[in-house]
């Protein structure tokens, strides 16, 4: 068949218009894809979900039991107590004294031994060990484990996660933890990181916090738990004075707090990684 010039012009016009329509459709799809939030629960209206509403209400009730808005506004924490490490669930030595200083959200200093001459210092995304030999950065593996625990800590979850866009709440039912009847609530942030908090039905305080994260060495999921007990009222804040940590069901450490103070105005200089000063020889 012989095509006339008019037919050729008509075909070219159709192809040109089709190309424009295809380009606009592709741009709209790309724009829509880019605009989507990273949360795995994007598009789900949890405000109308009774399960999510119950979970949120339980979390808010827990925050009130801990100290309410004043609890969420804590600036710094000072603790004194004793700690013990465990290996395969068995004590690895006698309890040792410790002093812990926290300046929220991302600075922490732990002093160990009676002489307080072994110091673990964490400032933002860096970690250091300070001894009489000097200051050295933490091993990458140890620092990564610490930063992971901080990301999943109650301090971070209750102060950052729950008010961030894309965070979802789920009521997981009731149960028993440490001989306490609890309600279990899971909180999942926009990065798909999740924690489950077991909340005491009687006093609304957290009894247990759990999270799972992939082990960088064997790529298996590890489950880490913290159990909170022996609550006391310190400066108006309900504070657990025994904190037990477990990994994959085995106890790894336990802390017994003797003194806790809040909002003492800890100086920034406490969290600077400078070498210890050596005594001058006379």
Q: How wide is the angle at C-alpha 52 spanned by C-alphas 49 and 58, nearest 5°?
A: 140
Q: For residue 260, what are its two tokens?
A: 């806790």
Range ranked top by mean pLDDT from 12-16, 35-39, 179-183: 179-183
CB 112 within 8 A of CB 253: no
* Phi, psi dihedrals of residue 46, rounded to the nearest 5°: -75, -15
Asked if residue 90 has pLDDT above 80, the reply is no
More confident residue, 44 or 138: 138
pLDDT score, position 18: 45
pLDDT score, position 7: 41
Q: Average the pLDDT over 217-228 and give the result.
A: 88
**pLDDT tens for each residue of 159-207:** 999 999 999 999 999 999 999 999 999 999 999 999 999 999 999 999 9
More confident residue, 217 or 33: 217
pLDDT score, position 250: 93
Asked if residue 136 has pLDDT above 50, the reply is yes
Sorted by where each starts, the structural domains of the chain and their CATH numbers stand as 46-271 (2.50.20.10)
**pLDDT tens for each residue of 51-69:** 999 999 999 999 999 999 9
How sure is the predictor about 87, in pLDDT bands with cuts at 50, 70 and 90? low
Does the reported pTM lie above 0.85? Answer: no
pLDDT score, position 84: 82
Asked if residue 125 has pLDDT above 90, the reply is yes
pLDDT score, position 91: 55
Asked if residue 80 has pLDDT above 90, the reply is yes
How sure is the predictor about 116, in pLDDT bands with cuts at 50, 70 and 90? very high
Q: Average the pLDDT over 212-237 and give the result.
A: 90
Report the alpha-carbon distance of residue 11 to residue 42 in Å, rounded: 43
- Best CA proximity match to 188, nearest among 38, 35, 39: 39
DSSP state of 258: E
pLDDT score, position 278: 53
């Amino acid at each position: 068949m012989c095509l006339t010039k008019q037919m050729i012009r008509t075909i070219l016009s159709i192809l040109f218009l089709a190309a424009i329509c295809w380009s606009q459709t592709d741009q709209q799809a790309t724009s829509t894809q880019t605009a989507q939030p990273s949360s795995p629960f994007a598009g789900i209206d949890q405000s109308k979900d009774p399960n999510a509403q119950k979970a949120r209400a339980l979390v808010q009730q827990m925050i009130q039991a801990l100290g309410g808005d004043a609890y969420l506004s804590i600036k710094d924490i000072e603790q004194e107590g004793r700690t013990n490490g465990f290996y395969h669930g068995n004590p690895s030595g006698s309890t040792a004294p410790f002093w812990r200083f926290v300046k929220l959200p991302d600075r922490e200093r732990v002093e160990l031994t009676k002489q307080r001459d072994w110091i673990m210092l964490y400032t933002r995304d860096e970690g250091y060990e300070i001894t009489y030999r000097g200051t050295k950065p933490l091993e990458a593996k140890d620092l990564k484990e610490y930063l992971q625990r901080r990301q999943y800590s109650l301090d971070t979850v209750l102060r950052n996660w729950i008010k961030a866009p894309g965070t979802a709440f789920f009521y997981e039912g009731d149960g028993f933890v440490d001989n306490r009847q609890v309600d279990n609530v899971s909180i999942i942030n926009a990065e798909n990181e999740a924690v489950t908090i077991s909340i005491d039905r009687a006093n609304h305080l957290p009894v247990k916090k759990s999270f799972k994260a992939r082990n960088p060495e064997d790529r298996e999921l590890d489950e880490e738990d913290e159990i909170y007990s022996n609550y006391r009222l310190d400066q108006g804040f309900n504070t657990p004075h025994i904190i037990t940590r477990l990994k994959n069901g085995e106890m790894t450490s336990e802390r017994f707090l003797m003194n806790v103070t809040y909002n003492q105005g800890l100086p920034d200089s406490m969290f600077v990684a400078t070498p210890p000063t050596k005594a001058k020889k006379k």
